[in-house]
Structure 1
Amino acid sequence: MKFPSLVLLSLLLCACSEPEHRRLISPNGDLVLTLSLGDNSSIEYSLSHQGRVVLEASPLGLVLDDAHFDRELTLVDASDTRPVSDRYTMAHGKQREIEYIANERVYTVKNAQGDQLAIAFRVSDDGLAFQYRIPNNTGQSRRLITELTGFDFEAQAQAWLQPVAVAQTGFANTNPSYEEHYQMAIPVGTASPTEAGWVFPSLFYTGKDWVLISEAGMDGRFNASRLAQESNAGEYRIGQPMDAEVVTGGALMANSSDAFASPWRIVAVGDLASITESTLGTDLAAPAQAQMDWVKPGLSAWSWALLKDDSVNVETTREFIDYAASMHWPYVLIDVNWDQNFGWEKLAELVRYAAPKNVGLMVWYNSSGDWNETEYTPKSQLFDRQLRLEHFARLQDIGVKGVKIDFFPGDGQSVMQYYLDLVSDAAAHQLMVNYHGSSLPRGLHRTYPNMMTMEAVNGFEMITFTQQTADRAPSHMAILPFTRNVFDPMDFTPTTFDDIPNIERRTSNGFELALPVLFTSGIQHIAETAEGMAKVPEFVKAYLRDIPTLWDETRLLAGMPGEYAVMARRRGDDWFIAGINGTDQPLSLSLDLSFIQSAKGQLITDGDSERSFSQRDVVADSSLELSVRARGGFVINF
C-alpha cells in the first residue's frame, strides 16, 4: 500500500491551514477520500470504507494536446467542503423519486508551465465520484490525448469484467457493441483477452467490500471510456476507444473550443445491496432537458425476437398488435426492412389499426453512415440532420411512438454526440428512443427521459443465434443485476416459454417469468409470441399483463454475481419479487420479507418440469423458505 506524501500534506497545510483538508468524507463518515503526491509529483487518490482499504493510491491526471497534467504538479487550491443535495424524478427505472446527498471539494493543480486543471470530488454514502474540469481561454479547440486515471486494488481482490470487442470485427463490422460475456471472479490484474479492454460497469470484490466502477454525465464533448487491457498488480487504468470508433468524419477523443469537463468517474462501494440499490449513475447525470409528460414506459410485443426477418410484414404485425392488446401491453416494435417490406403508407395503416386497441408502434432504423457493412434498412436516413428531421416529423405525423436505432460504431466522442443529437431531435418530435448495437447509456435516460433503453448487453437475440450462448445464458443473466443493469436501462428483450428455433433453451419457465421484473428497461420487449403465450396458464398471463417499468423502490434480497439474484421492487403498495438461479444445482433460500408486513401474496414458480408452472399463496414474514430448481426461478406478487 502507498501512503500520502508529506510533500502534499505540507502543501495542504499551507493552502488550507488544516490537515483534514487533504481528505473528503462521506455524510455518514464511512467513506474517506485522501489525496497524495506520487512519483514525479503526480497527483494520486485513495479510498477507504469503514477504515478498510478500497482503493490504494491511484493515479489521476490528463494529457491534452497543449498541456500535460501527469507530473511536476503543484496543488494550488482546495475548496472548502460543500454539501451537495439533489432531488429528482425518473420517468422509468428502479426508483421514481431520488434524493442525492454528498460532500464535494474541488482541487486545482498546476503543471510546471503554469497550466491549471480542476478536479471535483464528491463522496456520498454509497460511493465516490470525480470529474476533471478543463479550462479553455485559448480561443482554440483543446483535445484530450489520454487520461491517466487509475483504480488500484489490493492483490487479493477479485473482478467480474466484460471484454470489449475489437472495433470493426463481428457481424458486418458492427463491433464494439458491449455484447460479450463477463469473466467472473477472476484475479485482479488479469489482462483482457482483447486489446480494446474491459467495459463499464466493472465489478470488484476486495474481500470485504464490493466496488462497481462506471461513468455518467456525457455532454457530447467527451469520448466514452472503459478500463484498459492491462492492469499490472491490480492497477486498472482508464482506457480509450479504438481509432475506428467514430462516425463518418467524426472525432475520436474529447475536444472543445470552450471550457469542458469529463464525465463523472463513479466508484460505488458497499455490500451487494448497496451496489444494486445505488442511483449514482443518474445522480451524476445532467438533469432532464425538458418535461416530457408524453413519455409512457411499458411492455412491448416484438415479432423479430423469435421469428426474425420474415416476420416484418403487414399480416404478422397485425397479429402482434392483437397479441399486445390482449396482454394489455402498450407497444409493438416493427423491426428491420419495414420500409422495403411494406413502406410508409402501410405503416400509417398499421398505426391506425393499432390506435383503437391502445397499442402504439415503434419502428427500426439503421444508424449507419458508412462505418459498417450492414444492409438492413432504413439506412443512412438519420445521420444527416435535415433528413433525420424529415423522417422524425413524418413518423410523428402518422402517430408512431418511437424509434429503435441500431448499429453504432463505438465509443468515440463523435458517437457520443450522435446519441445526443438523435435523442434530442426525437424528443422535439415526441418520439421515444431505443438504441441497439450500442454503447452504455451512462445516465442518458435522466437527461433525456425519452431515451427508454439501450441494448449494450449479450441479450436474448444472441441466445437465438448459437447454442454456446444459450448454454451460458443462466449464469450470464445472473450477473446482469449486479453489473450492466445497476444504473442504466437494459434492452435484454427477456422471456420466452416455448421453443427457440434450432436452440435448446437452458432456462426454466419460472426463470423466464422472473426476468421482466429482475431486469429494468423503460420499454421491456417480451420475446414470446402469441402462440407460445397461449400455452401457459391464465395466471401467468394475468401476471404479465401488469408488469411495471417504473418502480418506487428496489431492494436486493439475496444474490451472488453470476450465480443467483433475488430482487424486490415496489409500485405503490404492491411488491413484486423476482428470483433466478443461474447455477446447475438446486438453491435453497430463506427470504426475510418482514418489510412487507405480513401481506398475502401469490408465488409462481416452476412445476414438475422446466416447462411447467406451479402456483400457491404465501405470507410475507421474516423467513419465507423457497427451493429453486437448477436454472429455475420464481416470482411473488404481494
Structure 2
Amino acid sequence: MKYKIASLIFLLFSANQMLKAQTKYEITSPDKELSVSVFLKNKQAYYTISRKSAPVLANSSLGLIREDADFAKNLTVLSVSKNELVKDNYTLKNGKRLNNQYLANKRILHLQNASAQKMDVIFQVSNDGVAFRYYFPDADTQLKKITEEKTAFHFFESTKAWMQPMSVAKTGWESTNPSYEEYYKKEISVGTPAPTQAGWVYPALFNYKNTWLLVTEVGLDGGYCATRLKQNSPAGNYQVGFPDGREAFTNQNVNPESTLPWYTPWRVIAVGSLKKVTESTLGTDLAAPTKTAINPELFQLGKASWSWIMLKDNSIVYDIQKKYIDFAADMKWEYCLIDVDWDTKIGYEKMQQLADYAKSKNVGLLLWYNSAGDWNTVKYTPKNKLTTHENRLKEFALLQKMGIKGIKVDFFGGDGQSMIRYYLELFEDAAKFGLSVNCHGATLPRGWQRTYPNLVTMESIKGMEFITFDQNNANEEPLHATTIPFTRNIFDPMDFTPMNLSKIPNIKRKTTAAFELALPVIFQSGVQHLAESPNGMATVPAYVKSFLQTFPASWEDTKFIDGYPGKFVVMARKAGSKWYIAGINGENSDKLINLDFSKFNAKEAEIIIDAEEGTDFITGGIDLKSPPPVKMKPYGGFVIVVTQK
C-alpha cells in the first residue's frame, strides 16, 4: 500500500513537472494580431511569434551565460506576472513622426537557474512588433561579466533576408573598421553565412510569406556592448553575437560587465506588413527618454553646405569655406560643415573670424574632429582632443565661446562596451556646451537621438562619399538607395550626405537628377549635409533651388506609399500644412505610381520630375480630380509638394 501511495505521489509530481515544462505563457498585442508564446523545453527557454494566428518565427532560444552563472539551461519558472498595459507618449523632432504613441502588453517571466540565481525576461508586444530584454534583479556590488548571449531569431527556411555584413575590426582604410559601411546582401536565403566571422549588423530585414520582420536592438545605455548577428545561422537560426575583442576604447573592456541589478538592451523585432514595419517607431519607442539635463530646444535641426564631399581635403581653406558659408546663406540653410585639418589649414584664430562671418549670415558652423585613441591610425586633425572628459570640457568650452554650433566626430571603429560608453559621454559633454553631434565611421545609433537630442545624425552607412571615390559605387547607388529606407534608416537618422544634381568629378552618375532631388526627403537625418556645390546649384532651374531653400529639416508624420527593398520606394512626409511625396526607382525600367491625393487632403500639388533625357527637370501642377500615374524613369525619381486645404 505504501508503495502504491508513493508511486502515485511520484506520478502526480512527474505529471505536474511535465505540465510545468509544457506550459506556454502568451503575450498578445493590443490589437490581438501578434502573439508571443514563451515556454521552457528541457529546462531551456524559448519564444515564438505568430501573426494573425500563423507562426512567423520558429522556436527561438533565450538566455545568457555569465562567468559566474549559466542562465541558458537548467532553468525553472518561479512566477509569471499578469499582462500589464504599457503606455508612452513622446515628441521627437529627429524622426519620422513628431508625436509618438507606444502601446504594448507587458509580461515578465521570473526565472532561476540550477544555483537559484535569478533572471527575469521582460516581454512587451505592441501592434507593430515584439521587444524583450533580460534583468538580473539581485543586488551585488561585485562585477559580473557576460560571456555569451544565447538569444536567437529562428526564421523559417523559406524566409528571405536583406542584411548588411559586419566588417572585420581593424581592417579597411587606416584600420578604421567596423563602420557599418558595407552593401546590403539583398533577398538572400536565411542561413546564408556572412562573408566573414564578424557576422551581420542591425537592422536586419526578413520576409516570410506576407509578413515582414526587422531585427534590431534598442536601449543601449553604456551597461552593455553593441551586438550583431553571428556569421552562421544554421536552418535560419540567427544568434546574437558580441564584438571582436579589438573593438575597445583604449584597452578597456569589450564584452558586457556590470554590478547587479542589471538590465540588458531591448531585443526588437518589428512585425507586420511592409507598410507597418516601415512606418514603425519601435526603434525610439523603447529608447530611454531625453535626459532631463539636456534641453532639446537648444539644438536646431537643418541643412548644411559641405565642401569636402566634392572638393576633398584641399578645399579646407579659409577662402573656400567662406564661399560655402555664402552658399548656405543663399540657400537659407542653417549650417556649413568644415571638415578635416581645419585646425592646421585655417587655425583657431581664423576660424573665429569665419564663425563671426557665418553668424552675420545667419549660418552656424560645424567642425570636424578625429575620435583619436589607439583604435585607428588616421592622421587627420584635430586629434586627441576628445578622448578624456577633461580634454572635452576644455575644447567644448572653447568652441562654445567661438560660437560653433556642433561637431562631427569620425573614425570610432568599435562596438565594445567601453566604446559605447565613449559615445554616450561625448554626447553628454557636448550637450553641456550647446553643441550638436554628428558621428561618422560609427556604429548604428539604436535610438540614441531620443535620449540625446543633440545627437543630430550618424553615418553608419556606405554613403555619398563612396560614390565620389569609385564608379562601381555610383553604379550601385540605385539599388543601395532603395534598400536603406527599409533597413538602416528605418528608425535612426542617417547621414548619407545625399544629392548631387549636376556632376561628380571623374564619376558618371547612374541616377537621374530627380532621383537625387528626392533623396533628402526619402532619407531622414536631423541635419542633411547636402553634396551639391555652389557651381552645381547655379545650373539647376529656379524652382528646384526654391524647393531646396524651403524643404523642411524635420517631419511631423511619415507614410509609406509603395515600394520593395532594392527596387523602388515612395514615401510621404508631412511638415506644417504640406506633404512632401518622393519616389526613387532602383531598377532599369519605367515604373508607374498611382497616388490617391484625397488621403492628403490636397488643395493643390506641384511635381518636379525628370525631363525626357534624365539629366534635367520639368515641373507642373497635378490635376487632383483625375491625377495621372506618376512615371518614374529608369533610376529616376520625383518630388511632389502637396498643399493641404
Distance 1:9 1:460 in 2: 58
Q: Which residue in 2 is equivalent to 1:3?
A: none
Q: CA deviation at 1:148?
A: 0.4
Distance 1:255 1:273 in 2: 38
**Quick check: 1:509 aligned with 2:518?**
no
Question: 1:83–1:103: 8 Å Cα contact kept in structure 2?
Answer: yes
Q: CA deviation at 1:9?
A: 7.9
Q: Which residue in 2 is equivalent to 1:237?
A: 239
AA in 2 matched with 1:585: S
**Quick check: 1:446 aligned with 2:450?**
yes
AA in 2 matched with 1:154: F
AA in 1 matched with 2:384: S
Residue 469 of structure 1: SS of its match in structure 2?
helix
Q: Which residue in 1 is equivalent to 2:492?
A: 488
Q: CA deviation at 1:138?
A: 3.0
Task: Give the alignment of 1:438-587 within 5 angstroms.
Answer: 438-587=442-591
Query: Which residue of 32, 35, 39 corresponds with 1:32?
Result: 35
Question: 1:520–1:549: 8 Å Cα contact kept in structure 2?
Answer: no
**Quick check: 1:335 aligned with 2:339?**
yes
Distance 1:223 1:358 in 2: 40
Residue 141 of structure 2: SS of its match in structure 1?
coil
**Quick check: 1:410 aligned with 2:419?**
no
Q: Which residue in 2 is equivalent to 1:142?
A: 144
Distance 1:341 1:621 in 2: 58
Query: Which residue of 257, 260, 272 corresponds with 1:258?
Result: 260
Q: CA deviation at 1:599?
A: 2.3
Q: Which residue in 1 is equivalent to 2:165?
A: 163
Distance 1:410 1:525 in 2: 24
Question: 2:21–2:40: 8 Å Cα contact kept in structure 1?
Answer: no
Q: CA deviation at 1:91?
A: 2.7
Q: CA deviation at 1:622?
A: 8.1
Q: Which residue in 2 is equivalent to 1:249?
A: 251
Distance 1:63 1:565 in 2: 42
Q: Which residue in 2 is equivalent to 1:429?
A: 433
Identity %: 45
Deviations 1:494-519 (A, max 9, x none): 00112211211111000000000100
Residue 457 of structure 1: SS of its match in structure 2?
coil
AA in 2 matched with 1:84: V
**Quick check: 1:270 aligned with 2:272?**
yes
Question: 2:21–2:39: 8 Å Cα contact kept in structure 1?
Answer: no
Question: 1:366–1:407: 8 Å Cα contact kept in structure 2?
Answer: yes
AA in 2 matched with 1:527: A
Count of paired positions:
626
**Quick check: 1:10 aligned with 2:19?**
yes
AA in 2 matched with 1:127: G
Q: Given the superposition, is the C-alpha separation of residues 501 and 130 from structure 1 closer, same or farther in structure 2, using an over 3 Å criterion? A: same
Question: 1:301–1:527: 8 Å Cα contact kept in structure 2?
Answer: yes
Q: CA deviation at 1:521?
A: 0.3
Question: 1:9–1:22: 8 Å Cα contact kept in structure 2?
Answer: no
Distance 2:575 2:63 in 1: 43
Q: Which residue in 2 is equivalent to 1:600?
A: 604
State TM-score, norm by structure 2: 0.95
Distance 2:373 2:228 in 1: 25
Q: CA deviation at 1:59?
A: 0.3
Q: CA deviation at 1:10?
A: 2.8
Q: CA deviation at 1:93?
A: 1.8
Question: 2:21–2:43: 8 Å Cα contact kept in structure 1?
Answer: no
Distance 1:60 1:544 in 2: 49
Question: 1:211–1:267: 8 Å Cα contact kept in structure 2?
Answer: yes
Deviations 1:576-615 (A, max 9, x none): 0010001111112212232113421110010022210011
Q: CA deviation at 1:7?
A: 7.9
**Quick check: 1:49 aligned with 2:58?**
no
Residue 296 of structure 2: SS of its match in structure 1?
coil
Q: Which residue in 2 is equivalent to 1:79?
A: 81
Question: 2:567–2:586: 8 Å Cα contact kept in structure 1?
Answer: yes
Residue 22 of structure 1: SS of its match in structure 2?
strand
Question: 2:449–2:455: 8 Å Cα contact kept in structure 1?
Answer: yes
Structure 1 stretches lacking a partner, 5+ long:
1-5, 14-18
AA in 2 matched with 1:259: P
Deviations 1:79-100 (A, max 9, x none): 1111100010113221111011
Q: Which residue in 1 is equivalent to 2:133?
A: 131
Q: Given the superposition, is the C-alpha separation of residues 260 and 623 from structure 1 closer, same or farther in structure 2, using an over 3 Å criterion? A: farther
Q: CA deviation at 1:469?
A: 1.1
Query: In terms of mean alpha carbon deviation, does 90-99 or 173-182 score higher?
Result: 90-99
Residue 257 of structure 1: SS of its match in structure 2?
strand
Q: Which residue in 1 is equivalent to 2:614?
A: 610
Structure 2 stretches lacking a partner, 5+ long:
1-14
Query: In terms of mean alpha carbon deviation, does 329-338 or 592-601 score higher?
Result: 592-601
Deviations 1:473-494 (A, max 9, x none): 1100001110000100000000
Q: CA deviation at 1:333?
A: 0.3
Q: CA deviation at 1:12?
A: 8.2
Question: 1:594–1:622: 8 Å Cα contact kept in structure 2?
Answer: no
Residue 615 of structure 2: SS of its match in structure 1?
coil
Q: CA deviation at 1:51?
A: 1.1
Question: 1:8–1:37: 8 Å Cα contact kept in structure 2?
Answer: no
Q: Which residue in 1 is equivalent to 2:224?
A: 222
**Quick check: 1:173 aligned with 2:175?**
yes
Distance 2:210 2:540 in 1: 44
Distance 1:228 1:602 in 2: 47
Q: CA deviation at 1:620?
A: 4.2
AA in 2 matched with 1:542: S
Q: Which residue in 2 is equivalent to 1:184?
A: 186
Q: Which residue in 2 is equivalent to 1:16?
A: none
Question: 2:526–2:553: 8 Å Cα contact kept in structure 1?
Answer: yes
Deviations 1:334-357 (A, max 9, x none): 000000101111111001001121
Query: Which residue of 295, 298, 302 corresponds with 2:299?
Result: 295
Q: Which residue in 1 is equivalent to 2:122?
A: 120
Q: Given the superposition, is the C-alpha separation of residues 525 and 630 from structure 1 closer, same or farther in structure 2, using an over 3 Å criterion? A: same
Question: 2:136–2:261: 8 Å Cα contact kept in structure 1?
Answer: yes
Q: Which residue in 1 is equivalent to 2:91?
A: 89
Question: 2:93–2:555: 8 Å Cα contact kept in structure 1?
Answer: no
Distance 2:259 2:130 in 1: 29
